[in-house]
Structure 1
Amino acid sequence: MPPARSPRRSSAEDRRRQLSAAAAALFTDRGYPHVSVSDVAARAGVSTPTVYRHFADKQALLFAATQTGVDSFESQTDKALAGAADPAAAVVCAATRLGLADPGATSLWRWSGQHLSDEQNREVVRRTRTVLRRWAAAVAERRPDLSERESMYLAGAVLSVAGSLIDRVSRDDREDVAATVRQLIWRLFDLSPAQAPPLREPAFPLPAGHGRRDEILDAAARLFVERGYPGTGMDDIGAAVGITGPSVYKHFPSKDAILVAIGRRSALRLEAEAMAAALATPDPAARLDLLVDSYVQTITSTPDLRAALTCGYALAENPHATELLDGQRRYVARWIELLQAAQPQLDRKTATTTVHAALAVVNDAVRMPRSTPRPEFAARMAYLVKGLLHA
């Protein structure tokens, strides 16, 4: 029998959990750079010195909040798999509960890496992969024909589907959304990633830029993805293209302006591919497949879209942020409309949940640097996305 905890220790642990939960909510809503320790204190209803009695700094708060999400990941899995007669069904249950219980906390692992230390990242990845292996083993028990790598692909996709629900679940929608999520996860379990066909090349690939401006954008996008937005300075961008930091200002007035230009460039490429798909076929299902291929090609072959997605929070107070966000929403809405046109039986809510879940699979996967370089990676991502979209 474990020793009883002292009241003082229990109180301290409760306070840490309270502060971690407040930090998770704020980081998710505003983005890490736009939250201060005093903001967390105000959200929790305590003084700023109280926060510092429990956490050394804001990064420690982020690590704790991320770990809380992993704690939930582990506990939901333990609860579901304990004595489960059908491990695959247990994973469906665990994933659905995880996504609905606290989607903000469970989504932190998607972007927190660029703000954590290498040691902290290794700990989050180690714990997350340990649970994913348990999910993969449950998948393999149902699908013994799959390789270990295929089972891990599916387990990772399940986590992405579960984590895609943030800001999209109202109290009235919970049961409907839960039913859709369960259906999508079962759909994943029927897929075989090794059977993914080769990915089609873009219909009209955009020409590469050759001027200094494009060189700066290329270098900045790569650095933003590798080091994170806060960890990249104008001097770093200049050095990457062989010029001084002040010389970069001749082309862009600020680092924010560079990120905006990267977002616009990636949006232009996706829009060109969407227009090409519309010209290629009138069939909505076929057009949606073309959009999947172009999206996966874009996000895996260039860093622009990854930089726009992972660093967009930095533009929260930039006047161009609304423009970029509106463009992203219009693009996603095009997918939703095509899905409904291809499957008229789907209502808007189900189609929206399905599209966001499908996009989350590839968006999450490209954040894992060990997966992206594999030659089959892009084709398997497109295959999984299409598998979710097609009933």
Structure 2
Amino acid sequence: MSIEIKAPQFPESVADGTVATWHKQEGDAVKRDELLVDIETDKVVLEVVAAADGVLGKILKGEGDTVESQELLGSIEEGSGKSSGDSKAEDKQAAEAPKADEQPAAKEDAGKAGDSDGVAGPAARKMMTEHGLDAASIDGSGKGGRITREDVEKALKAREEKRSSSPAPQQPAVAEVPAAPGEREERRVPMTRLRKRIAERLVAAQQNAAMLTTFNEVNMKPIMAMRKDYQAAFEKTHGVRLGFMSFFVRACVEALKRYPAVNASIDGDDIVYHGYYDVGVAVSSERGLVVPVLRDADQKGLAEVESQIIEYGNKARDGKLSIEEMTGGTFTISNGGVFGSLISTPILNPPQTAILGMHKIQERPMAVDGKVEILPMMYLALSYDHRLIDGKEAVQFLVAVKNFIEDPARLLLDI
């Protein structure tokens, strides 16, 4: 009996995907729910698992191929096949078989050319490019000697072990030779689907919105004092540390309630006012910037917000965010301060009409009651679509956020 392996059902916003990595080869034994293949879309990486025990049959869509929703990728056949380890070992032996006039020459040519397209899948090529590895230096364990992502990971691990075990030299043994004129190195790396999608959305945001940014600054001393006083008790009670982001989420929600246009969106000639508060939190990952959404943020406490942000951060790092977790959102917060940004103009996340930019906390001399005090200050930036939000509303919204942060009691008293 043959069981079909199909691509996942993509949401309406996702047209197609790309086969990123096959974790099994033809003839490998597979178990139910075992990961078979990764499908990369312009939003997330989707995992396809085995529907039943069996043997992986013919693979119809190889790494790098474009697939549509529910398209056939391959099949699982009933019966017992060789294990993944046996398959890889056989493939490796076949790859190392002394076809004297063919295999060594081919490998040498590949090394000279520095091109891994023919011997590695997209995921493995991407990793080799990012870490400066040469395909000729890696033994492929895939079919026909093909380099897999696991092979690259092993090579990286071996390189790090070698570096850590080697004593640091007293002085450079060989002086580094600068590149000769006209031989400056260049690397051409294809954009990932996610990076292409990010580029498209950012350009569209600037072309299709009357974007403007207003700035203010906030004294972080009250929030920092509160964290210092209650951090231990908060962490003991909720099992999570109290950060700044939860305060800003709460402050933004309260400000959005007072200025609903900032929480609205434009749909054609209509203005859509949202009666809920789904706050997107920009998270940086190796694949690019992603914006998972805190649903019904007005109904979440500080601890729940902190826990969910940590969860989203871990998922973004591991490429496990789902499309549902990144779909929608009525307002976005981006914290460039974690990277040291002092001030910036964040770009809108369509179809939203506003985004708040947080920045680095830096001590500055400030005039307080006629005296100069050194205070931990943060610049805030609100970018907004001027087609819907007037300057007065934007400024008042940002001032409201500032007041909530500088006087956290307002959040509790709802004033």
**TM-score bracket for the superposition, by shorter chain length:** under 0.3
Q: Higher relative contact order by CA 8 Å / sep ≥ 6: 1 or 2?
A: 1
Q: What TM-score, normalized by structure 2, do the two folds share?
A: 0.23
Q: Which has the higher strand share?
A: 2
Q: Which has the higher helix share?
A: 1
Which has the larger Rg? 2
Q: What TM-score, normalized by structure 1, do the two folds share?
A: 0.24
